[in-house]
Amino acid sequence: MTAVPPVVYYFFAVMKGLPAETDFVVIGPSVAGLRAAIELAAAGSVLVLAKKDLPSFKTQDPKSEAAWLSDEDEVSLHLQDTLDAGDGLCNVAAVKMLLEEAPERIDELIAWGKHHGTKLTFGLENPHSKASVLHAEGQSAGREILRGVWEKAQSLKQITIAPFTFVTGLVTEDGRVRAVSVLDQNGVPHEIACSAVLLATGGFGQIYRNTTNPDWATADGVAIAVRAGAEVGDMEFVQFHPTALYMKKVPRFLLSEKLRAEGAYLRNFELDRFMAKYHPLAERAPQNLVVRAIVHEMEVSRAKDPFVYLDLTDMKASVVQKHFPRIYSAFMAHNIDITEDVIPVRPAAHYCVGGVRTDLDGKTSVAGLFAAGEVAATGVHGGNRLPSNAVLEGLVFGARAGRAMREIEKGAPKTAAEPQAAYSNGPVDAGVEELIGQIQDLMWNEVGIVRTRTGMQKAIKTLEDMAPKLAQPKTRRRHEAANLHLAALLVAKSALAREESRGSHYRMDNPDHDDKKFLKHSIVKNGIVRFA
């Protein structure tokens, strides 16, 4: 047996106070953000801003491990599957770049991780389809990747991290980014001057009532970029996962789609199987179709709080335990034996395909502003994402953005504004949760899985009427509410403009493709949607 070296935990140079200036700002200590920071460290000082606490890799507790359970629990590369999922809209150059550069990014991560016992291994699994799959000794590969970039970034003294620092906006001069505006952990506003900024803020799934996304996914990156004048694109494409757990007081973790492939059934409120009514492949039907079938069954049940069941009880317990050990033990940690009980599930918003438009080096349409990871729209996912390659996207395009940012000419530093009086960061922020709840319900009901012209028009009108209540935010939560509101409007307007169904965007009034008009990406600038 090979001896596994002990895991060593370091701590970054964590900020005591915020600097007035730095060479580069990275917003988000994520896979994309940290991978970019590693590149940037060779060219100057890098300040990574994190609105939350820093990630911890210390625990093996199955309950907290459940947060890392993923749809396919997989990080892998599949050219044809990526193009098929994208439904005609993938930027083929971006997909090829992802596939060509990912092995190098992973090999380097494995090499960096040698001294701290990385669990990552990467191999060609299917020579015919050139599919490569990353393994992490039964752990989450995504989590191991984050641990790898985290530990490498910690070892570089040019990188500093400021936790609980919330970015509210960008300061631009003559059309280029010169500084970021933040609220520090006491709610005091500051400006930090810099040469270039990377948005690595993740997605915006929190615009929906039901989502698998973490609570930080409040569209901050998209909103910050739009207010600075950047273009966003493909905002109508939001991927919904069919089977997120729906139980009170238990996290909404995902039930892998592979469970259905290996024999799990879907049952409605009356415990009847229903998928065969919708598709000859029944539970193995394409993801979008399964999601819509579940929505229909929930509607016809007329239940106040509808859901359906995922039933694994016909599968051999030994198969469930062997093939899905992390899902099995995550449920057992909540005293639920999934080999004996049916599991209540609902679809949930899962991945934001659209975002801030970038080229293949992360450059946005605003000078000095870059984006990478889920916040960016490179076109790599087309109209829908293949579940397994988002983390690799962050690694590959994060590194590319970092290298491109190094080339930015360092202008004369802008004089940072003096810190102002503190605003309240406290939990009491009258009415804001209610406003956020209204946005989430509206988007879930009118611009969710099945969309109609009248529903989307209603959503846009309601959101526009709501705008004055969200003007001039001062607290963090108010900023998040304003950001969710802006992203919701962008999604609704883009979805209304795309008068066809494609990828994850389904319209009951236009159920087919219209390649002549819409084999194009949507682009929003100054509130106007166009296709190119």
Ligand X SMILES: Cc1cc2nc3c(=O)[nH]c(=O)nc-3n(C[C@H](O)[C@H](O)[C@H](O)COP(=O)(O)OP(=O)(O)OC[C@H]3O[C@@H](n4cnc5c(N)ncnc54)[C@H](O)[C@@H]3O)c2cc1C
Stretch that binds ligand X, among 69-77, 308-316, 409-417, 507-515 (CB under 6 A): 69-77
Taking CB under 6 A as the criterion, which residues in 304-343 touch ligand X?
none
Residues 240-279 that bind ligand X (CB under 6 A): 254
Give the gyration radius of the chain's Cα atoms: 23
> What's the min distance (Å) between Cβ of 55 and ligand X?
8
Which secondary structure element, helix H or strand E, spans residue 349, and what is its range? Answer: strand 343-352
Q: Is the dihedral of CA 469, 221, 148, 24 positive or negative?
A: negative
Give me 336's structure tokens: 């639920």
- Interface residue with ligand X among 23, 65, 74, 87 (CB under 6 A) is 74
Site for ligand X in 411-450 (CB under 6 A): none
Q: Which stretch binds ligand X (CB under 6 A): 70-78, 130-138, 412-420, 421-429?
A: 70-78
Nearer to ligand X, 27 or 294 (CB): 27
Among residues 65, 220, 231, 236, which is the contact residue for ligand X, using CB under 6 A?
A: 220
Query: How do 131-135 and 355-357 pair as beta strands?
Result: unpaired
Identify which of residues 71 and 297 has a Cβ nearer to ligand X in the complex. 71
Binding track over 160-179 against ligand X, x by CB under 6 A: ------xx------------
- Alpha-carbon distance of 102 to 107, in angstroms, equals 9
| Residue 354 touching ligand X (CB under 6 A) | no
Nearer to ligand X, 477 or 498 (CB): 477
Q: How far is the CB of 254 from ligand X (least distance, A)?
A: 5
Token pair for residue 82? Answer: 């990526």
Which phi and psi (to 5°) does residue 173 adopt? -135, 130
Q: In this chain, which of 49, 338, 360, 484 binds ligand X, going by CB under 6 A?
A: 49
Q: State the Cα–Cα distance between residues 504 and 498, nearest whole angstrom.
A: 12
- The pair of three-digit structure tokens given for residue 380, joined into one six-digit string: 């790599």
Which range binds ligand X by CB under 6 A, 209-217, 257-265, 290-298, 439-447? Answer: 209-217
Count of positions on this chain that bind ligand X (CB under 6 A): 38
CB 384 within 8 A of CB 85: yes
Strand pairing category for 75-77 and 131-135: antiparallel
> Is 202 near ligand X (CB under 6 A)?
yes
Q: In angstroms, what is the minimal distance from the CB of 362 to ligand X?
A: 12
Provide the mask over 385-404, with x wherever binding to ligand X is found by CB under 6 A and - wherever it is not.
--xxxxx--x----------
Residues 91-150 that bind ligand X (CB under 6 A): 142
Strands lying side by side in the sheet with 75-77:
75-77, 131-135, 121-126
Rounded to the nearest whole angstrom, what is the least distance from the CB of residue 245 to ligand X in the complex?
11
Q: Which of 27, 449, 488, 489 binds ligand X (CB under 6 A)?
A: 27
Name the DSSP class of 481. H
Residue number, 45 or 462, with CB nearest to ligand X? 45
Q: Which residue number, 355 or 368, has a Cβ lying nearer to ligand X?
A: 355
User: CA 30 to CA 18: how far, in whole Å?
Assistant: 20
CB 247 within 8 A of CB 284: no
Give the distance between the most distant pair of CA atoms in the chain.
Answer: 68
From the CB of 170, what's the least distance to ligand X, in Å? 11
Q: What are phi and psi of 4, to 5 degrees?
A: -90, 125
Question: Does residue 234 interact with ligand X by CB under 6 A?
Answer: no
Segment near ligand X (CB under 6 A); pick from 7-15, 212-220, 454-462, 516-524: 212-220
Contact pick of 201, 358, 475, 494 for ligand X (by CB under 6 A): 201
**Mask for 359-388, x = binds ligand X (CB under 6 A):** --------------xxx-----------xx
Give the residue with the Cβ less far from ligand X, 75 or 408. 75
Least gap, CB of 202 to ligand X (angstroms): 2
CA pseudo-torsion sign 221, 222, 227, 233: positive
Which residues, including other chains, have CB under 8 Å from residue 334's CB and lie 6 or more apart? Answer: 63, 250
- Which residue from 25, 38, 50, 245 is in contact with ligand X, where contact means CB under 6 A? 50
Number of other residues whose CB lies within 10 A of the CB of residue 329: 14
Sign of CA dihedral 343, 347, 350, 353: positive
Shortest gap between Cβ of 67 and ligand X (angstroms)? 7
Q: Which is nearer to ligand X, 35 or 292 (CB)?
A: 35
Integer CA distances (angstroms), 217 to 55, 171, 275, 287, 469, in order: 15, 22, 32, 23, 21
Residue number with CB closer to ligand X (352 or 443) = 352
What is the length of the chain?
532
Q: Which stretch binds ligand X (CB under 6 A): 23-31, 123-131, 267-275, 435-443?
A: 23-31
The three state secondary structure string of 492-504 is: HHHHHHCCCCECC
CA–CA gap between residue 524 and residue 495 (Å, rounded): 11
Amino acid at 469: K
**Token couple for 405:** 């940012």
Stretch that binds ligand X, among 73-81, 94-102, 312-320, 357-365 (CB under 6 A): 73-81
Count of other CB atoms within 10 angstroms of residue 160: 19
> How crowded is the C-beta side of 169, counted as CA atoms within 13 Å?
13
Residues that bind ligand X in the complex, under the rule CB under 6 A? 27-33, 49-52, 70-75, 142, 166-167, 200-202, 212-213, 216, 220, 254, 351, 373-375, 387-391, 394
